[in-house]
Amino acid sequence: MAEAPKAKPAAGRAGTKKELPDHFKAYKHVWVAIECEHGAVHPVSFELLCEGRKLADKRGVELAGVVMGGSEDAIAEAVAQTFEYGADVVYTVVDPVLTHYRNEPYTKAMTDLVNTYQPEILLLGATNLGRDLAGSVATTLLTGLTADCTELAIDDEGSLAATRPTFGGSLLCTIFTLNYRPQMATVRPRVMSMPERQEGKRGKVISHPLGMGEDDVVTKVLQFVADRETDKAQLPYADIVVAGGLGLRSAENFQLVKNLAAVLGAEYGGSRPLVQKGWISADRQIGQTGKTIRPKLYIAAGISGAIQHRVGVEGADLIVAINTDANAPIMDFANLAIIADAVQVLPALTEAFRKHLSVNRMAG
Amino acid sequence: MHIVVCVKQVPDSAQIRVHPVTNTIMRQGVPTIINPYDLFALEEALRLRDKFGGEVTVLTMGPPMAEDSLRKAMTFGADRAVLLTDRFFAGSDTLATSFALAEALKKIGTDFGEPSIVFTGKQTIDGDTAQVGPGIAKRLKLNQLTYVAKISDLDPDRETITVERRAEGGIQVLETRLPVLVTMLEGSNEIRRGSLEDALRAAKADVVKWSAADAGIEDLTKCGLRGSPTIVKKIFSPDPRSEKAHPIDTTDLSMDDIAQALMDELFQRQPELEGEFLRFAATQFGQEVGHG
Amino acid sequence: MSDEHFDAIVVGAGPSGNAAAYTMAKEGLKVLQLERGEYPGSKNVQGAILYASALEQIIPDFREDAPLERHVIEQRMWTMDDASHVGMHYRSNDFNEEKPNRYTIIRAQFDKWFSRKVRDAGATLLCETTVTELLRDSSGKVIGVRTDRNAGKVFADVVILAEGVNGLVGQRSGLRSEVAPDTVALAVKEMHFLPREVIESRFNLKGDEGVVIEAMGTITKGMTGTGFLYTNEESISVGIGCIVSDFAENETTPYGLLEAFKNHPSIKPLLAGSECKEYASHLIPEGGYNAIPRLVGDGWIVVGDAGQFVNAVHREGSNLAMTTGRIAGETVVWLNRRRDEMTKANLTEYTRRLEQTFVMKDMKKYRKIPDFLHGNKHVFTLYPKLFTNAAQSWFRVDGVDKRSKEKQIMSSFRKSRSILGLLGDAFKLARAWR
Ligand SMILES: Cc1cc2nc3c(=O)[nH]c(=O)nc-3n(C[C@H](O)[C@H](O)[C@H](O)COP(=O)(O)OP(=O)(O)OC[C@H]3O[C@@H](n4cnc5c(N)ncnc54)[C@H](O)[C@@H]3O)c2cc1C
Ligand SMILES: Cc1cc2nc3c(=O)[nH]c(=O)nc-3n(C[C@H](O)[C@H](O)[C@H](O)COP(=O)(O)OP(=O)(O)OC[C@H]3O[C@@H](n4cnc5c(N)ncnc54)[C@H](O)[C@@H]3O)c2cc1C
Ligand SMILES: Nc1ncnc2c1ncn2[C@@H]1O[C@H](COP(=O)(O)O)[C@@H](O)[C@H]1O
């Protein structure tokens, strides 16, 4: 039901007119939640700083980062980076309770900050952490939240226009929160570009207490099992991705995809049916219900390019389709195509790259 | 133990079309399905019921035809279905949806027993926001466990639950107290095929239907369009890429030549790829190539 | 296993199964309907023609809420060669009557609507439940079915097989033989979406008026078959079908044929700018009267496509399906009221009643057509070319006098096929038609 009227341009909606209540008029500045669980800042936070900078400049306001963590030491690097990637101000909440991400204390920290310092725009990464936190914060503040955005802009009246895919990416919609503050949005990783780093840039740090003790938190972290870098697919951040689909016909043939990926130093992945068939693990699924990737080069072998797959790969700089069917939907968004049997093309391609390498090695 | 699973009826996104002229959604003939993520939640709920006893109630807010999805959920083995349907709910965004569902959950608690666990899917495939679950949790002050890959332990007596939650860069093992709201991660299980008995029961069952008033919702300004702070101003199709893929000529060429042609084309279009590739290769295959 | 006992089990929720289940449920019988698809019509996504009268006899006021696309006001019959067509168009404002006779429909929606009616009448429908075989007692009488669900047996007095053309349950249970490849056509269809305004201007329609094009000729590359195009409200159904055994001999793919048909210069402009979203293929029983299997036995009845009830010449199928389903339902109700056993002898009442309807009369009338068409490839190869060439030569104004043109045309007919052959074909066709 929620989607029904969204299908039409929202006509006659009471809230379409901008009537910002007085108590919201003081809300100012653009905030970005900096995600730095376990030390390192999630790249999406930098992408958001880049986007937030543009919004803040358009509004003529400041850009602030929000850094939360367990100790000053743990967040020092994140704070520095937040400035270097563009923030004018950084709000910090530091408390041992915040060592691991948990919904309760993080929601409290963020809502207290918002209520105290009153930003007009609050951006978070559409990661598991960001989406867990954003939903709770928005519900607590009773404000609007546009999830999983792919484009942000300021409209002529100064409101945040947040554009996001809907219906599995077949459509896009632009959403506003006119009469409530802050205007909240989560943004998909790898959609916005990275800002230039301004080495050594610093600014004002404002710290705020958490006001909650460990005893107040019901949920306990018993353990954190970090993914081992080696066996974990790093698809979203890979520069080259090689993927296979049902056109490969068998699990054995999928090895050809892995072989090419190995030579190229690429990550490998596949379409959803391969996960369902058990040829690849679920974390290697690319698409709407899998990973969104933005590599420089994406090679799709035996993948038809269904809309759910398409939305996950469209951000790639260069897409190569290897498919026997010249009319497969993937041809509508690939840049280059080989109309031939992937089972024959893949080994030949692997060999071509290998050769290229040895020739250049010899020459060098 | 009473478990409630929130399920949503969604259009099968694979079959959504956009009117080429008016740019609106053409729903004609688009089949609806249970949001695929919600099935992981439902199966988890059914497993817990089978193990600990009790009942599973499925809840949806949607148009009258959403009854089909509830019935379908019952063919998998759910014991009871509640449909929250009212024109006042039309146009709900996530905030208004979580309000209505939270109110219905209170009423379910009163009428059929307080739930120990409320499940939702990770997200829907039409709204795609993953916000409704957390919204419900906040409103009902339930402990919130999102992106749960596995329920590793549940102790109804101590009222504790331990789960593995997918976090960025790893798995968090979390313990908290019931009642909780859990959003289930995809791939955590596979929905069962109900027996003939379940299917027959589902076909005949009475679905509980509540209007806003039935669910005890007094403040209608929190529902539907009026209760939704977000406003959808524009819906449009993504720009189609103007040209089709450029096919590499394959006529009368050997596979090796075709591969060579593609590689050349790639390096020509993305020159920096070649440099990066060689640098990568130098670190990885130095030995091997040296021998070759 | 379910302890529940039903008066009747209906296998399949297509037009025939729905008609049977509706008829019985409406009269208060306890009916269980089993459908393997996700929902009724899920295996039948495409557009089709609905003949009103058969449905009217089951649900007289169906026009009030059935999902009808357009009522047909114009029929085009085309004979095509590779670049042209000669055709007959019949368009009449009489078809804009209060209760039109033919509609285009989209099966997925129509079947869903019909199924809703069936359930409202009181039948129990289980989807995603495939019947795997019939259950019999020691005397061989059918007493229920086994499904693919856990503990999946269920029992009833009578089982109505409305399972469609493949008839797998009947076959597996030894009631009938396998469908022969030369008695079924394989049809492929696509749905092309276009704004309704475009459809209306392109086909010269207003409101809910619709057009049907039926075509034969070289488009089937010498195989027995036809192509078609129907206008729906906001889409066009286009398809082509040929006898299965012909495909095997010709090594052509149905999809290739459809591509060629869509690209034919007479068809292409009608589809220009559309977006194809659905593709499906389905079998049509075209063996006619001679291919009808046994229709009743102890505890079972066959209806619809499963009984080969299709009139290939007039492209009628769903109306025969609904009529056979209705009559089977009425027969069961009648026996049930009389507390008669569902034995073969008693159920034969169904075939007796069928004989009185258009169904059996038409099936008999056209019984020789399948053989004629199959044995006479000229209909699909030579004649279309002759007709189109003749038309072209007749209509081209090029300084050749009309008498010479007539001669030219006649001699081209003669050269291609002897007068005797031509006459023979015409005669055979007439006889088959009779
Ligand atoms: C709710 C929902 C969510 C979904 N989420 C995702 C998702 O996240 N990711 C995803 O990928 N899918 C997803 N899907 C599934 C999606 O709709 C498609 O079904 C799927 O992407 C198709 O996978 P495929 O391209 O491998 O297979 P197919 O569509 O079967 O395509 C196979 C292709 O291989 C080609 N081919 C055949 N033989 C050869 C050969 N020898 N050499 C080269 N090519 C050959 C064929 O021409 C064809 O184009 C989702 C579906 C739904 C309903
Ligand atoms: C391309 C094409 C175009 C046509 N156009 C027209 C037209 O314009 N007008 C017209 O009148 N007719 C047309 N027909 C014919 C018409 O579609 C059929 O005659 C009609 O659908 C037959 O109805 P039915 O109920 O017997 O079978 P079906 O419609 O085939 O229904 C059988 C049902 O049984 C289910 N089923 C099968 N086996 C099992 C099992 N073991 N367990 C449970 N369920 C099972 C199937 O899923 C299906 O839903 C066309 C046919 C085709 C293929
Ligand atoms: N209208 C609804 N009725 C019932 N459950 C819903 C509804 N909308 C969302 N949900 C639940 O909330 C989850 C997240 O939805 P969303 O925030 O839309 O991505 C879904 O997986 C469902 O379990």
pLDDT digits (tens, 9 = 90+) for C162-218: 999 988 999 988 888 888 888 888 888 988 989 999 999 999 999 999 999 998 888
Same domain, C53 and C34: yes
Same domain, C144 and C157: yes
Same domain, A160 and A286: no
Q: Let me know if residue A31 belongs to a domain.
A: yes
Q: Let me know if residue C72 belongs to a domain.
A: no
Residue-wise pLDDT tens digits, C305-316: 999 998 877 778
Query: Where among C367, C398, C422 does a domain terminate?
Result: C367
Percent of chain C past pLDDT 70, that is, above it, reads 96
pLDDT of residue B288: 45
Q: Let me know if residue C93 belongs to a domain.
A: no
Query: Where among A183, A216, A249 does a domain terminate?
Result: A216
Same domain, A252 and A329: yes
Same domain, C173 and C197: no
Q: Let me know if residue C79 belongs to a domain.
A: no
pTM of the model: 0.81
Please say if the pLDDT value at position C370 is more than 90: no
Q: For residues B27 and B19, what is the distance between their CA atoms, to the nearest angstrom?
A: 10
Same domain, C186 and C313: no
Token duo for residue C300: 């079972």
Q: Let me know if residue C101 belongs to a domain.
A: no
Please say if the pLDDT value at position B6 is more than 70: yes
Chains in contact with B, where contact requires at least 3 CB pairs less than 8 Å apart: A, C
What is the number of domains present in chain C? Answer: 3
Interval C266-293 mean pLDDT? 87
Under an 8 A CB cutoff, do C124 and B20 touch?
A: no
Same domain, C203 and C222: yes
Please say if the pLDDT value at position A5 is more than 50: no
Please say if the pLDDT value at position B286 is more than 70: no
Same domain, A191 and A259: no
pLDDT of residue A97: 96
Q: Let me know if residue A196 belongs to a domain.
A: yes
pLDDT of residue C44: 67
Query: Where among C323, C344, C367 does a domain terminate?
Result: C367
Q: Residue A91: beta bridge partners?
A: A66, A206
Percent of chain A past pLDDT 70, that is, above it, reads 92
Mutate to test the pocket of ligand 2, among C173, C284, C311 (most ligand atoms within 8 A of CB): C284
Q: What is the CATH number of the domain that holds A324?
A: 3.40.50.1220
Q: Let me know if residue A101 belongs to a domain.
A: yes
Same domain, A210 and A275: no
The pLDDT confidence band at residue B289, using thresholds 50, 70 and 90, is: very low
Same domain, C354 and C387: no
Same domain, A241 and A199: no
Same domain, C110 and C218: no
Same domain, A49 and A164: yes
Residue-wise pLDDT tens digits, A98-126: 999 999 999 999 999 999 999 999 999 99
Same domain, A145 and A292: no
* Interchain CB contact of B200 with C (< 8 Å): yes
Please say if the pLDDT value at position A146 is more than 70: yes
pLDDT of residue C331: 98
Under an 8 A CB cutoff, do B28 and C149 touch?
A: no
CA–centroid distance, C164 to ligand 2, in Å, is 5
A293 annotated to bind ligand:
no
Q: Let me know if residue C426 belongs to a domain.
A: yes
Q: What is the CATH number of the domain that holds C253?
A: 3.30.9.90
Q: For chain B, which residues make up each domain, given as ranges?
A: 2-227, 241-292
Residues in B touching C125 (Cβ below 8 Å): 203
Asked whether B98 lines ligand 3 (CB < 6 A), one says no
A308 annotated to bind ligand:
yes
Q: For residues B178 and B158, what is the distance between their CA atoms, to the nearest angstrom?
A: 9
Same domain, C389 and C357: no
Query: Where among C224, C252, C285 does a domain terminate?
Result: C285
For residue A119, give every residue at least 6 positions away whose Cβ sits within 8 Å of its Cβ, in sequence order, or none: A27, A28, A29, A30, A31, A64, A181, A182
Same domain, C60 and C128: yes
Asked whether C15 lines ligand 2 (CB < 6 A), one says yes
Q: Let me know if residue C77 belongs to a domain.
A: no
pLDDT of residue A10: 39
Same domain, A278 and A330: yes
Please say if the pLDDT value at position C277 is more than 80: no
Residue-wise pLDDT tens digits, C285-302: 888 888 889 999 999 999
Same domain, C232 and C271: yes
Residue-wise pLDDT tens digits, C238-248: 999 888 888 87
Q: Let me know if residue C27 belongs to a domain.
A: yes
CA–centroid distance, A125 to ligand 3, in Å, is 20
Interval C146-165 mean pLDDT? 95
Same domain, A106 and A10: yes
Percent of chain B past pLDDT 70, that is, above it, reads 90
Residue-wise pLDDT tens digits, B171-230: 899 999 999 999 998 777 889 999 999 999 999 999 999 999 999 999 999 999 899 999
Interval C136-162 mean pLDDT? 95
Interval A27-35 mean pLDDT? 96
Q: Let me know if residue C84 belongs to a domain.
A: no
> For residue A324, what are the domain limits?
235-363
* Interchain CB contact of A6 with B (< 8 Å): yes
User: Contacts from B190-195 at CB under 8 Å and sequence distance 24+?
Assistant: B190/B43, B191/B39, B191/B40, B191/B42, B191/B43, B191/B76, B192/B43, B192/B46, B192/B76, B192/B77, B193/B76, B193/C149, B193/C150, B194/B75, B194/B76, B194/B77, B194/C149, B194/C150, B195/C149, B195/C150, B195/C151, B195/C152
Please say if the pLDDT value at position C391 is more than 70: yes
The pLDDT confidence band at residue A250, using thresholds 50, 70 and 90, is: very high
> For residue C411, what are the domain limits?
371-433
Residue-wise pLDDT tens digits, A69-94: 999 998 999 999 999 999 999 999 99
Residue-wise pLDDT tens digits, C72-102: 999 998 888 888 888 888 999 999 999 999 9
Contact B178, B161 (CB under 8 A): yes
Residue-wise pLDDT tens digits, B83-140: 999 999 998 999 999 999 999 999 999 999 999 999 999 988 887 788 999 999 999 9
CA–centroid distance, A115 to ligand 3, in Å, is 28
Same domain, C115 and C157: yes
CATH of domain B2-227: 3.40.50.620
Q: What is the CATH number of the domain that holds C309?
A: 3.50.50.60
Q: Let me know if residue A26 belongs to a domain.
A: yes
Same domain, A204 and A257: no
What is the total residue count of chain B?
292
Same domain, C245 and C379: no
pLDDT of residue A11: 38
Q: Let me know if residue A152 belongs to a domain.
A: yes
Residue-wise pLDDT tens digits, B235-264: 887 776 557 788 888 888 899 999 999 999
What is the number of domains present in chain A? Answer: 2
pLDDT of residue C163: 95
Residue-wise pLDDT tens digits, A148-163: 998 999 999 999 999 9
Question: SS3 string of chain C?
Answer: CCCCEEEEEEECCCHHHHHHHHHHHHCCCCEEEECCCCCCCCCCCCEEEEEHHHHHCCCCCHHHCCCEEEEEEEEEEEEECCCCEEEEEEECHHHCCCCCCEEEEEHHHHHHHHHHHHHHCCCEEECCCCEEEEEECCCCCEEEEEECCCCCEEEEEEEEECCCCCCHHHHHCCCCCCCCHHHEEEEEEEEEECCHHHHHHHCCCCCCEEEEEEEEEHHHCCCCEEEEEEECCCEEEEEEEEEHHHHHHHCCCHHHHHHHHHCCCCCHHHHCCCEEEEEEEEEEECCCHHHCCCCEECCEEECHHHHCCCECCCCECHHHHHHHHHHHHHHHHHHHHCCCCCCHHHHCHHHHHHHCCHHHHHHHHCCCHHHHHHHCHHHCCHHHHHHHHHHHHHHCCCCCCHHHHHHHHHHHHHHHCCHHHHHHHHHHHHHHHC
Here the ipTM equals 0.79
